[in-house]
Each structure stands twice: as structure tokens, then as C-alpha cells.
Amino acid sequence: MLKLCGFPLSNYYNKVKIALIEKEIPFEEENCPVSQEPAMLARSPMGKVPFLDLGNGQCLSESEVIVQYLDEAYPAKPLMPKDPLARARVRELSAYLELHLELAARRLYGEAFFGGKATEQAKQEVEKDLAKGVQALLQLAKFSPFIAGAEFTLADCSAMASILPVGLASKAIYGRDVFADHPQVRTYTGMMLARPSVKKVYDDRKAFIQSQQKN
């Protein structure tokens, strides 16, 4: 059986988990911390999570690669449109969400979530990058009701991995959620959090945090 490796605090782990649940693909979870140990690097060459253990001695890393593989290898419940341009639009949204929002905001996570300290220069640079990223997202996103249009797609899995942490990190560092002035984003995330797949993933995340606090 497929094994999703990582931990439920990881937004990219949760992205793949939402896709697996939406596609009704049976899978197990392996709690696997990030590490640079040779055994980990043999399974995930950058030592990052998530990765997918295919159960045949092979692993696949990088969340976007994993979800695209799942959609091709398990076509019964597709999460990509058929039309080539519509497919490209889904990938375009995922790229913008991850490169121009999540990756930009990641420089703030140390201070926002883990008691670290970001430099003033980093904060100023990220603020500019996020302003551009938010503008770009709003230009591309449909929110009708899903991010790429009428159907739930892989871009919605990416969106849930990006919008929430970016919003939380910007609120923590700048005192203002970068999506605060855009109620369509809040309506969208509210709808998504009520969706059974997403709710399950966030309930598991909460349970994981509580279990860590007990230890």
C-alpha cells in the first residue's frame, strides 16, 4: 500500500494527504521527521517531507510531483481537468501559490511559529514579495467556488497548503494578514475547511499538535 511519509504539521504533507483522500486512494501514514541522515536521504534526496513510499522499493518526493503522479496513476477520480489549457491553469495556480506566496513567507516562519528571529531586511523583502504574490494570486484565482473554477482540482490542495500559513505568518510578523482585505479568500478557506477531506487533515493536524504537547 502507498505510504505517505512526513508529519501532519507539514503543510506540503497535508497537501498530498488531501489529494489522496479526495481521490479515495488507500494509503498509510508514516511519521517521519525531516533529517539529513543517509537512510532518509535515500528515500527523499533533500531530506524533506513529504515523500511517498510506493511500496516497491521506490519513493517519490516533491509534493507537486507526487500529486500529479497520483492523478495520472489513479485516474478513477481525476483532480485535473481534461483540456490542456485548463490543466496548465491548475499548474499555474499551484506554482504561484507555492513559489510566490508560500516560499516567500517561509522566511518568516522561524519567528512567526518557532520562536526564532527574522532580520528586519528579510521582513521588508518578504513584505514586498507577498504584496506581489497576493496580487498575482487574485488575478489568477477564480474562487467560483474553487480556486481554478467550478471543480475541485489539485490547485485547491496547493491552496490549502499555502494560504493558511501565509496568512498566519503575515499576521504574526506585520500584525496584518495579507489576505485580510480580500473577503473572497476567507470565504474560500471557510468553505474548504468544511470539506470532509480538508477537515480530516486539519483534525489530524490538531491531534498531532496536542500529542506533541503532552510529550
Ligand X SMILES: N[C@@H](CCC(=O)N[C@@H](CS)C(=O)NCC(=O)O)C(=O)O
Binding mask 5-24 for ligand X (x = CB under 6 A): -----xxx------------
Angle between helices 154-174 and 103-114 (to 10 degrees): 50
> Least distance from C-beta 36 to ligand X, angstroms?
8
Q: Which is nearer to ligand X, 47 or 149 (CB)?
A: 47
Under the binding rule (CB under 6 A), the answer on residue 91 touching ligand X is no
Stretch that binds ligand X, among 17-25, 41-49, 135-143, 206-214 (CB under 6 A): 41-49
Under the binding rule (CB under 6 A), the answer on residue 34 touching ligand X is yes
Q: What cell numbers appear for 156 in the block?
A: 485547491
> Least distance from C-beta 66 to ligand X, angstroms?
7
DSSP 118: -
Stretch that binds ligand X, among 62-70, 87-95, 132-140, 174-182 (CB under 6 A): 62-70
Under the binding rule (CB under 6 A), the answer on residue 171 touching ligand X is no
The span from the CA of 210 to the CA of 214, in Å, is 6
* Residue-wise burial string across 25-44, b where 16 or more C-beta atoms lie within 10 A, e elsewhere: bebebeebeeeeeeebeebb
What's the N-to-C CA distance of the chain in angstroms? 30
Q: Which is nearer to ligand X, 22 or 64 (CB)?
A: 64
Under the binding rule (CB under 6 A), the answer on residue 48 touching ligand X is yes
Q: Which is nearer to ligand X, 8 or 81 (CB)?
A: 8
Under the binding rule (CB under 6 A), the answer on residue 62 touching ligand X is yes
The verdict on whether omega for the bond into residue 165 sits within 30 degrees of 0, i.e. cis, is no
The span from the CA of 211 to the CA of 190, in Å, is 25
Under the binding rule (CB under 6 A), the answer on residue 47 touching ligand X is yes
The span from the CA of 194 to the CA of 86, in Å, is 26
Residues in contact with ligand X by the rule CB under 6 A: 10-12, 34, 47-50, 62-64
